Amino acid sequence: MSMNATTNPHVSTAEARELLVDLVSIPSPSGEEAEAVEALVEFFERHGREVSVDEVGNVRAPADDAVLLTSHVDTVPGEIPVEVEATDDDEVLWGRGSVDATGPLAAMAAAAVNTGVSFVGVVGEETSSRGARHLVTDRDQPGAVINGEPSGATGITLGYRGFLSGTYVATSESGHTSRPDSNAIQHAIRWWSAVEDAFETDHYEPIFEQVTTKPVGIDGGSSDDGLSVEATLEAQLRIPPSLDAESVRETAETHLEVGTVSWNEPIPPVMESPRTEVARAFRVAIRAEGGDPRLLRKTGTSDMNIYAGAWDCPMVTYGPGDSDLDHAPDERLSLSEYDQSVAVLERVASTLVEKAAETGESA
């Protein structure tokens, strides 16, 4: 790690907040992360850290690999005016990405500088996870991973469901609508109804333990030449840790009588133990910062699923923000919670570096 007289290796609370506001002020929907990536690179350079941008656009600041702090640079689309609102006892930052996941990203960047651990800001999490997928093939496994997503300053996320998506396509001959023969649109509807029925469970079972199904797009009608009826249905299925993508895919295809489904590369579910060194370090750090630790399981999917599928090391997901505000039109983040999360991350990273040094595993 290079240093010179013009750099300051320490990030103050004010500087950490400034980084957050700067990043939230830069629109960075998936595929348009370049300006935010540049801002992150400049931040690490100002603080004397080695930093580069890899071939897919990830910001990589390697250092002590006892722990890797990583979150995503991209956000979902949507403009929310950036504003810092003063309340009676706090300040609140409004803006797209303040929660998901620019808040966790900025907190991790500050903590990485202040503790000397590795950092990666990945791209494309909101679409294909291309940044995380590239990362696991292009670097060695770290000692531990802390993935950045909103959990609240006192929340520790240990589990996510997996994800399987696909495109159903069917074609049928055209004919008068008075005929009883089913057309492609009916075939698509019947297949999807059968899939939903196949995964229906007791409503008292926690959502995290269920396969949930969601059609996210459907298109159908006469072909351009008028000789056939075509239908396309975009489907998503969430997979609990008790199952795998292959078994879910097979169940869905069992009900496929007409048409074909093209499946995308699945993301496996993940459920980490609460007894790892990383989880323990978070519980201690959260209590030290005045909080009451909460263990969480999320019904969605994150890049932690990608890391867990490739690396055999302990990991959790953590970051400031209320996940109910993910992608919402009123996305906003408490700045005092953000400050608290930076302090927690610094405590955790320092603890993991010390433990790795004791066992001779520090990079």
Tell me the three state secondary structure of residue 323: helix
200 assigned to active site: no
Fill in the amino acid letter for 328: A
Which one from 125, 303, 331, 346 is the annotated catalytic residue?
A: 125
Q: Are 325 and 337 in contact (CB under 8 A)?
A: no
Q: Are 112 and 62 in contact (CB under 8 A)?
A: no
d(CA 126, CA 140): 24
Q: Please report the beta strands in the chain, taking only residues with DSSP state E, as ranges in sequence order.
A: 52-53, 59-61, 64-72, 83-86, 91-94, 117-122, 145-148, 152-160, 162-173, 212-222, 228-239, 260-263, 270-271, 294-298, 315-319, 332-334
What single string gives the DSSP state of each residue in 2-16?
Answer: ---TT--S---HHHH
Fill in the amino acid letter for 88: D
126 assigned to active site: no
d(CA 250, CA 166): 13
Pairing state between β 83-86 and 91-94? antiparallel
Which one from 74, 322, 337, 346 is the annotated catalytic residue?
A: 74
d(CA 25, CA 22): 5
Task: Please give the positions annotated as active site.
Answer: 74, 125
